[in-house]
Structure 1
Amino acid sequence: MMQLYEDLWVSIPQELTEGAVTPPLMMHGFLLKHARGNILISRMENPIDHQAIEEAGGIFRHYLTHWHEAGPALPLLQQRFNAALYCHNKALGAVTHFAEPDDTFSQAEVHCGSFHVVPTPGHTPGSTSYLYASPNGKTYLFVGDTLTLYDGRWVTMLGEDSNEADLHQSLDFYRALRPDVLLLSTTSGDVPWQEVDLPRWLAILDEAENSPLDLRRGEVDA
């Protein structure tokens, strides 16, 4: 893992092999140091990262942003760190192919007193973002695959179970948020974070809304 901020780390990038897009997509996971214990967000399959988690004190919760992040490492992380697994209830069926979640959610909630769970459907029915105001002064927004930076462009991501109307509503909801740092679960490069101010954030949303990456066809719409 690589440290981004005093309380936030990112995993070693791993290529997503399920798609057929060029350039290829890279997966990223994030370790957040919270007052109640370390939290893992998104997918983290590399054993080297798992060892880094152990050296950082383990994790007590693991949150998925959507079902595409379910993989063979889920039960390993649960067992190794006695970590509770969380996902949206609409992701439950797919996630249970790998591991049994400890709890699910279906609406906006606040966990651990300061970790905001915010369903943002569209990329998948159970897509969820997480918002956290760090004591170090920056507000982190984990957007999963709802939007990403692909080949130098900000795009939304469409898959087989995407709903474009829901996706546009989620982007509209994003416009009311004021993040300082975006954390992306999938990108076409090795840099899955971006610091933003309000004008930059709104410009990103405008660009992404008009630039869908259609994974069903393996191409970006013009």
Structure 2
Amino acid sequence: MKQLYEDLWVSAPEFPTSDDEPQLIMHGFLLQHVRGNLLISRVEHPEDHQTIADQGGIIRHYLTHWHEASPATQRLQQRFNSALYCHARALGQVSHFAEADATFNAAEVHCGSFHVVPTPGHTPGSTSYLYASPYGKTYLFVGDTVTLSADRWVTILVEESNESDLRQTLEFYRALRPDVVLMGTTVGQLAWQEVDVRQWLALLDEAENNILDLRQPLLHLGSG
């Protein structure tokens, strides 16, 4: 794991086996919270699991959508006795890998300051997490709802996506003011990006104008 900020780490890059998308990269994030460490998204590498242990373990693991569930999800749950959280509409798919301890279907505040915000569109259960760090930056964990693909900001439609919901989520994002955007999956890019208000609104414009429809044959995330 690499430390990004005083209270935030990013996992080593994971390259899922994919002949179609050899540059697909997945990451997870360890957030140090006063109530206990939180894990967001997907973390597969055993070395990262040891880093989590060295940092005091985790009390909760949050998925941004079911695509992040993996064999390591249950291993983390068992090793750290941590609670697994996901949106109620992701539960069925997540349960193929691990049993969730709790679900949500509306905006909530957890641990006093960790904002759980359903942002459907990419998947019905897609969720973002917003946290104002006491060290001065506001983090927004977006999963795959917006992401970087070959230097472009994009948003992605898959078989279960709803384009109308996705556009509403992008509009909702415009009211937020993150300092750092953190992505679970990118193509050939880092998993985080610092932004100011102008940059944030501009990247949302770019993503909305670059909707990659993976429901169409032969069209992939890294396509030009």
Q: TM-score, normalised by structure 2?
A: 0.95
Relative to structure 1, is the Cα distance of residues 48 and 76 closer, same or farther in structure 2, using a 3 angstrom cutoff? same
Matches within 5 A, 1:104-183: 104-183=103-182
Structure 1 contact 16–24 (Cα < 8 Å) conserved: no
Q: In the aligned structure 2, how far is the partner of 1:190 from the partner of 1:46?
A: 19
Q: What is the DSSP-based 3-state SS (H/G/I as helix, E as strand, rest coil) of the residue aligned with 1:194?
A: strand
Structure 2 contact 88–103 (Cα < 8 Å) conserved: yes
Structure 1 contact 213–220 (Cα < 8 Å) conserved: no
Number of residues paired by the alignment?
Answer: 221
Q: In the aligned structure 1, how far is the partner of 2:39 from the partner of 2:153?
A: 25
Q: What is the DSSP-based 3-state SS (H/G/I as helix, E as strand, rest coil) of the residue aligned with 2:32?
A: strand
User: 1:44 corresponds to which residue?
Assistant: 43
User: 1:94 corresponds to which residue?
Assistant: 93
Q: What is the DSSP-based 3-state SS (H/G/I as helix, E as strand, rest coil) of the residue aligned with 1:75?
A: helix
Structure 2 contact 187–222 (Cα < 8 Å) conserved: no
Q: TM-score, normalised by structure 1?
A: 0.96
Structure 2 contact 151–189 (Cα < 8 Å) conserved: no
Amino acid at match of 2:176: L
Structure 2 contact 150–222 (Cα < 8 Å) conserved: no
Q: In the aligned structure 2, how far is the partner of 1:17 from the partner of 1:192?
A: 18
Structure 1 contact 211–221 (Cα < 8 Å) conserved: no
Q: In the aligned structure 1, how far is the partner of 2:114 from the partner of 2:189?
A: 26
| CA apart distance, 1:214 | 2.8
Q: In the aligned structure 2, how far is the partner of 1:219 from the partner of 1:60?
A: 33
Structure 2: 5+ residue runs without aligned partners?
Answer: none
Q: What is the DSSP-based 3-state SS (H/G/I as helix, E as strand, rest coil) of the residue aligned with 2:168?
A: helix
Q: What is the DSSP-based 3-state SS (H/G/I as helix, E as strand, rest coil) of the residue aligned with 2:57?
A: coil
Amino acid at match of 2:115: H
Q: What is the DSSP-based 3-state SS (H/G/I as helix, E as strand, rest coil) of the residue aligned with 1:182?
A: strand
User: What's the % identity of the aligned pairs?
Assistant: 70
Q: What is the DSSP-based 3-state SS (H/G/I as helix, E as strand, rest coil) of the residue aligned with 1:14?
A: coil
Structure 2 contact 131–138 (Cα < 8 Å) conserved: yes
User: 2:52 corresponds to which residue?
Assistant: 53
Q: C-alpha deviations, 1:59-103, integer Å up to 9, x for none? A: 000000000001000110011000000000000000000110000
> How much is the aligned-residue C-alpha RMSD, in angstroms?
1.3
User: 1:12 corresponds to which residue?
Assistant: 12
Structure 1 contact 214–221 (Cα < 8 Å) conserved: no
| CA apart distance, 1:189 | 2.4
Tell me, yes or no, if structure 1 residue 184 matches structure 2 residue 186.
Answer: no
Amino acid at match of 1:98: F
| CA apart distance, 1:17 | 2.7
Q: What is the DSSP-based 3-state SS (H/G/I as helix, E as strand, rest coil) of the residue aligned with 1:100?
A: coil
Q: C-alpha deviations, 1:14-67, integer Å up to 9, x for none? A: 11335723x621000000000000000000011111011001110000000000
Structure 1: 5+ residue runs without aligned partners?
Answer: none
Q: In the aligned structure 1, how far is the partner of 2:157 from the partner of 2:76?
A: 28
Q: What is the DSSP-based 3-state SS (H/G/I as helix, E as strand, rest coil) of the residue aligned with 2:131?
A: strand
